[in-house]
Structure 1
Amino acid sequence: MSSPSDIPRDIPGDTPNANPSRPVMQLLARGLQLWVRQQCQSIDSLEIRLEGSPLQLLRGRLAGVRLLARRVVYQQFHLELVELASGPIQVHVGNLLRGQPLQLEQAFQIQGQVSFTPAGLTRSLAAPRWRSLADSLGETLLGIVPLGGVRIHHDKLVLTALAQGRPDPIEQETTVASVGGSVEIRCVAGSPSYLLPMDPGITIGAARLEAGMLQLLGAARVSA
């Protein structure tokens, strides 16, 4: 993956007069930006870089796309940072030239990294879509529901909950690791542990706590 500084804000290419493919590149970039935003509930900032030769781009084939997005809400997950690179993508350039929305011809692969802040994790687990997951985490790892929140302390993910009749929250330090393409959250004492349910189209290759965030590295298949 490229670092954020490796992804330029401008679409690559020569000056408009020197490169006749630039209008098509701009159309593709705008079309992809709109398509990505439509997949999400909100995105604060989004940068996209197209990869491929001018001839490939004119034919609607991209060698790949690199994406950098900040403060993304996707399916009620609150993501602080998303850094992705795709495989080849086929698009209908003719539709774009006629002012129609971007249409992808086939599914494609992506790989990269998503990062959660503790506040983002807490908001995600409190969302209606993921409330049952939060309850399962709390019941399995804390022995109590509902799960109150999440914080990061050094290299530990700390789960918290409030128990009736107790003024102080119950806390459980856990570790995170990639296991079988998913994420395992395990109590520091060794047990119990909880393996997150994972979409079959997503594979997590690494999970780590770094820079005060939960970082997941992996790959996924995106439907057209």
Structure 2
Amino acid sequence: MSSESSDFSSSHPLEAEGPEAEQAKGDRAPRSRLISRVLTPAVKLWLRSQVEHIEDLQIEIASGDRQILSGYLPRIVLAARKAIYQGIHLSQIAMTGENIRVNLGQVLRGKPLQLLEPIPVTAELTLQEADFNASLQTPLFANAVIDFLTDWLGSTDAIGEEVTTEGPLNLQNLQVKLLPDALILSSQIRSASGEAVPLIIRTGLSGQGRYLRFEKPSWLPHLNAQRGIPLRELDGYVLDLGETVVIEDLTLSSECLHCQGHLTVLPG
């Protein structure tokens, strides 16, 4: 199961000694206990229920006394490694959620934490090459690639051979290779004669708003080819990530894809 580290440490400025200082510490103690003993475990349990795997989960909850008691959390910051969310493998994640309302009264009675309203979240994600290839092994992403290639192969002769698109597309050795400013999607596909035909597409990738966009894709004769045949029909092709996602920055390198943006986490 996932491993978790302790919460972010909280530091406070030096305080004067005396009755007033002791009173301030006493006022803060219930809040600290409520966060450490109730809220943090409840949030971690809820997060684990949303993902298939997560490691080194760290959480910082910022809230005042009255806000906590009303179930309002102004800000939660989290960081983790090796998360798997809906089949997506992520090497690193860092998120900040704001204006969070939860069912604190029920949590205090031992019920699971629930979101009462949508949460705006600022997110920073890192996917390594191994993350892409692990994600492609899941039915969700393998089927998405198959659907995309089936539509495209039915309207192009870029392969130069007749490829059957009747029935399910049989892809073998589906892989992604990361390059500076581009990625390569490679596989083998059966031609109409039954022979294995290499399928290799190199493309840049950009993100804007809810869309991922192909930039100057080309068909490669082999993985190490420096030049390919431009696939003009795919240039500008967009993948819609949904209305809850906003991409602000996306960077591809030979080591990883790094993405920053916003998303909305919905109750339920």
* TM-score (ref. length: structure 2): 0.70
Q: By how many angstroms is 1:185 displaced? A: 2.4
Residues 5-84 of structure 1: matches in 2 within 5 Å? 9-10=7-8, 12=10, 19-26=29-36, 27-84=38-95
* Maintained 8 Å contact 1:13/1:22: no
Cα deviation code 1:47-105 (max 9, x no counterpart): 11112223322332111111112111111111111111112101122222222211222
**Can you give the 5+ residue segments of structure 1 that lack an aligned partner in the other structure?**
1-7
CA contact (8 A) 1:11 1:50 kept: no
Partner of 1:66, secondary structure, is strand
Give the superposition deviation at 1:160.
1.1
Measured on the aligned residues, the alpha-carbon RMSD in Å equals: 2.7
In the TM superposition, residue 209 of structure 1 has moved relative to its aligned partner by 0.9
* Residue correspondences, number: 215
Matched, 1:202 2:245: yes
Provide structure 2 residue ranges, at least 5 long, that are not aligned to the other structure.
1-5, 13-24, 164-168, 219-229
What displacement does 1:132 show?
2.4
Q: 1:153 aligns with which of 179, 182, 193?
A: 179
Is contact 1:204–1:218 with CA below 8 Å preserved after alignment? Answer: yes
The one-letter code sitting in structure 2 at the alignment partner of 1:171 is: I
Q: Is the 8 A contact 2:210 2:240 kept in 1?
A: no
Aligned residues: percent identity?
23
- Equivalent residues in 2 for 1:78-157 (5 A)? 78-138=89-149, 140=152, 146=171, 148-157=174-183
Moved more, 146-155 or 74-83: 146-155
2:192 counterpart of 1:181: no
Higher alpha-carbon Rg: 2
CA distance in 1, matches of 2:257, 2:96: 20
* Cα shift at 1:195: 1.4
Deviates more, 1:147-156 or 1:30-39: 147-156
Name the residue aligned to 1:216. Answer: 259
- CA offsets per residue over residues 119-154 of structure 1, 9 Å max, x none? 211221231122221124545498686271101122
Residue 5 of structure 1 corresponds to none
Q: What's 1:4 paired with? A: none
